[in-house]
Structure 1
């Protein structure tokens, strides 16, 4: 066990999800693809000094900025939270695919490194046409251990990447609109 995985003992199988419920959920979405389309709702309020709190299904996610970006370093910044979501989404996909294929995993560890251009400084800095604020390149390293050979584990991670909603948000961005209410 580590601070990051207090419910998992190293070398032991990762606690599985209910395989029957996974199969039922998959079949439900095969039978009714429109039923798989959902709304995600969040509510964010600024708490001063670049601190923000976002409520999601009764959970509060704290987001801030590091001192170098004029925050108080009380929480990860928005891009770091997005990257954490990316890692978690890949992990969820790996777990579901492995379980569906009868593979028992004993370790999933994901390291992600991104390149970001922050020189536009939230629209008050270097604003040239050539600027692309945000993440431009993302490199994901995945360590998997389990009762399958390396080729099988590699295919599981490739399939998790292909079908990850968050990976697809990074690689096929959503249409975004905004309005003042």
Structure 2
């Protein structure tokens, strides 16, 4: 048992998602592609010393901060770490959905991600040379899957999850972003 996932027993099937509802959701979006287009809203408020609280839907606020090396108080993951956690979770959701759709029972989804980042541009007040790229440049994802399928099938499931992941596609095909002072 992992202290990260205390409800998961090694070798036991992961708690399944409803395969019938997954099929219904897919069919609904196939029949009405416009119905699958949604707007995601968040609201963030700064609390000082780089602490930011973000409300998503009606959930408890998510705290995002910075480590001491970046002048934060180390009370929470930083924005890049949160983005990386979102990337891993999105891949995991995709893996579980694809496995369910294909009749594969999974007993393990573990994802490790490392990314390279250059923090020398320091939020626009540091080194602003043309060759500087704020943000991650290289992302390495390692996926450990176990279930009642052969390695080739598990590999295809993870490859398809990567291909269809909204967050992977945000990393690899960035969205158009606008900003305005209101």
Q: Shorter-chain TM-score: what band?
A: over 0.9
Between 5-14 and 131-140, the greater mean CA deviation after superposition: 5-14
What's the counterpart of residue 99 of structure 2?
98
2:155 matched to which residue of 1? 154
| CA deviation string 1:85-119 (max 9, x = no partner) | 00000000000000100000000000000000110
Structure 1 moving runs of 4+ over 3 Å: none
What's 1:35 paired with?
A: 35
Q: Which runs of 5+ in 1 are unaligned?
A: none
- Gap runs ≥5 in structure 2: none
Indicate the SS of the match to 1:47.
strand
Alignment root-mean-square deviation, CA: 0.6
Work out the CA distance in 2 between the residues paired with 1:48 and 1:3: 31
Alignment of 1:117-132 (within 5 A): 117-132=118-133
Does residue 163 of the first structure (1) align with residue 173 of the second (2)? no
In structure 2, the residue matched to 1:12 is 12
Normalised TM-score (structure 1): 0.99
Report how many aligned residue pairs link the two structures. 181
Partner of 1:25: 25
SS at match of 2:116: strand
Q: Alpha-carbon deviations, 1:62-82, whole Å to 9, x = none? A: 100000000000000000000
1:75 aligns with 2:76: yes
